Amino acid sequence: STTESNALRTPIVAVLGHVDHGKTTLLDKIRGSAVSDDEAGAITQHIGATAVPLDTVSEMAGSLVNPDDFDLPGLLFIDTPGHHSFSTLRSRGGALADIAIVVVDVNDGFQPQTIEALDILKRTGTPFVVAANKIDTTAGWNPNEGSPIQQTYENQSQNARQRLDEKLYEIIGNLSDEGFSADLYWRVQNFQKNIGVVPISAITSEGIPDLLAVLMGLSQRYMKEEMAIDVSGPGAGTVLEVKEERGFGATTDVVLYDGSVREDDTIVVGGVNGPIVTEVRALLQPRPNAEIRTEKRFEKVEEVRAAAGVKIAAPDLDDAMAGAPIRVVRDQNVDEVIDEVTSELAEIEVETADEGVVVKADTLGSLEAMANALKEAEIPILRAEVGDIAPRDVAVASTAREDENKVILGFNVDVLSNAEDELEKTGEVRLFRDDVIYQLVEEYTEFVEERKR
């Protein structure tokens, strides 16, 4: 019933919280997938995006969400990593979000990245709810698959209820220590003044209907003005990943958070060697409820409107950089847009020294995470770049003065075959590669320690 120009934008919901508290599992439950099972080291190391249509939301929420009460198209969920190294990805996820879910494990309670998430949301003024997760682990808990929280709560023994209450009140107390007035969500009247705490289990789905109802209510009531933006304006987004796609060459997976992108649009994308100006060949949309990071089947469409995940095929995207901004140029001046992208890229910087190791990573976000992890371990960086390991990296690494610094640390990247030749020829540069950041740093520190013995 909405017209073209005032169609409501899909709200972006960021899922934030400490490592292992259950963010990906919660999203898996909502979209009916098993992304978390296939993650390297069982931790999330990228930002992900999943469009969940209103139908799915109301199906999961049962009587708690009547689709007729809402004119939002659905919700776009952004998964974020909880591991401490990924602070930039969390702030980016938080900054993109219209609303957020802070996931807290009821057993573990508040942890450093819980507090970090709250700080980000405070700073960006993003409304949020707290999902008190893993209630099924309460001793003596009797699970009721998919049940709203109050129903399942009433079916528990006195003891189990008491144990859960204690954990929930501890979380409410922790929130209060951070300056938020919070309560169990059914006691909250004004969700802008008070933070609602929703007890859930991402395994048994208990409480997930309530969580979805609160999210939908929050977006509909408080975000309506912001959602009614002109979704037909020139699009803006962030590159999640650069991927080879058969028949298309290099493509970029993008979270479009503003405006629209159409076939044949001119776009500016942040690249390894500066902004890339190119033209959209094809727009490929993941299926509803699919995580764009793992989706294999895409539908070709003519236009995509925010907020959405979309794979963009265009010439010259080989050097596009994951984590970089992407902008559609429609009525604006191309040079102005190029300047915007350039200055956004300049904000993302890794501290380097004139002696240290060479770091390569698959995305800007993971490069920053590597830099954070190395700084913590007091390992200096000579050069840090996004991309596969190339002969030039070997040459740079061999210029390090200390032998222990003549190394390349590659996170989630390949070694180009001519770089392998170069490594063999030089013979003095060591290569460490892993797809789990802390393991990569550990491997290197162990190597350094062994050398000292």
Q: Tell me whether residue 441 is annotated as binding.
A: no
Q: Is 79 annotated as a binding residue?
A: yes
17 among annotated binding-site residues: yes
Nearer to Mg ion, 44 or 205 (CB): 44
Which one, 114 or 251, has the nearer CB to Mg ion?
114
Q: How far is the CB of 77 from Mg ion (least distance, A)?
A: 12
Pick 394 or 441: Cβ nearer ligand GTP: 441
* CA gap 151, 203 in Å, rounded: 17
Q: How far is CA 375 from CA 229, 429, 444, in A?
A: 41, 21, 13
Considering only CA atoms, which of 162, 163, 108, 158 is closest in space to residue 133? 108
Q: What is the DSSP letter of 8?
A: P
Q: State the residue number with the nearest CB to ligand GTP.
A: 82
Of these, 9, 18, 23, 383, which contacts Mg ion (CB under 5 A)?
23
For residue 333, the minimal CB distance to ligand GTP (Å) is: 41
217 binding partner (options Mg ion, ligand GTP, none; Cβ < 5 to 8 Å by kind): none
> Which of the listed partners (Mg ion, ligand GTP, none) does 137 bind, with a CB threshold of 5 to 8 Å by partner kind?
ligand GTP
Footprint on this chain of ligand GTP (rule: CB under 6 A):
17, 19-25, 36, 42-44, 81-83, 133-134, 136-137, 201-203
Residue closer to Mg ion, measured from CB, 94 or 270? 94
| Residue 11 is labelled as binding a ligand | no
Triad 207, 211, 217: Cα angle to 5°: 140
The amino acid present at 85, given as its one-letter code, is: S
Write down the least CB distance from residue 290 to ligand GTP, Å: 17
Q: Tell me if 284 sits within 8 A of 299, measured CB to CB.
A: yes
Q: Are 358 and 382 in contact (CB under 8 A)?
A: yes
94 is in an annotated binding site: no
Contact pattern for Mg ion over residues 238 through 277, marking x by CB under 5 A:
----------------------------------------
In 348-408, which residue ranges form alpha helices assigned H by DSSP? 364-376, 391-397
Residue number, 103 or 379, with CB nearest to Mg ion? 103
Q: How many residues comprise the chain?
A: 453
CB of 416 to ligand GTP, least distance (A): 30
19 labeled binding residue: yes
What one-letter code names the amino acid at 403?
Answer: D
Buried b (16+ CB within 10 A) or exposed e, 128-151: bbbbbbbbbebeebebbebbbbee
Q: Please indicate if the annotation marks 388 as binding a ligand.
A: no
d(C-alpha 328, C-alpha 334), whole Å: 9
Tell the smallest beta-carbon distance from residue 54 to Mg ion (Å).
Answer: 25
Please give the DSSP secondary-structure letter assigned to residue 389. B
What is the full DSSP assignment across 405-446?
Answer: G-EEEEES--B-HHHHHHHHHH---EEEEESSHHHHHHHHHH
Dist CA 251 CA 257 (whole Å): 18
Choose among ligand GTP, Mg ion, none what residue 285 binds, the Cβ cut-off being 5 to 8 Å by kind.
Answer: none
Q: Which of 44, 138, 147, 285 binds Mg ion (CB under 5 A)?
A: 44
Q: 184 or 431: whose CB is closer to ligand GTP?
A: 184
Write down the H helix ranges in 178-246: 208-222, 224-227
CB of 23 to Mg ion, least distance (A): 5
Evaluate whether 131 touches 30 at the Cβ level (below 8 Å).
no
21 annotated among ligand-binding-site residues: yes
HSE of 25 in the Cβ direction (CA atoms, 13 Å)? 21
Minimum distance of Mg ion from residue 39's CB (angstroms): 7
Asked if residue 311 binds Mg ion (CB under 5 A), the reply is no
37 has binding-site annotation:
no
Smallest distance from the beta carbon of 106 to ligand GTP, in angstroms? 9
Whichever of 223 and 292 has its CB closer to ligand GTP, that residue is: 292
CB neighbour list of residue 347: distance below 8 Å, 6 or more residues apart: none
| Residue 20 labeled ligand binder | yes
Please measure the distance between the N-terminal and C-terminal CA atoms of the chain and give it in whole angstroms: 73
Which amino acids are annotated as binding site for GTP, given as ranges?
17-24, 79-83, 133-136
Which amino acids are annotated as binding site, given as ranges?
17-24, 79-83, 133-136
Q: By the criterion CB under 5 A, which residues form the site for Mg ion?
A: 23-24, 44
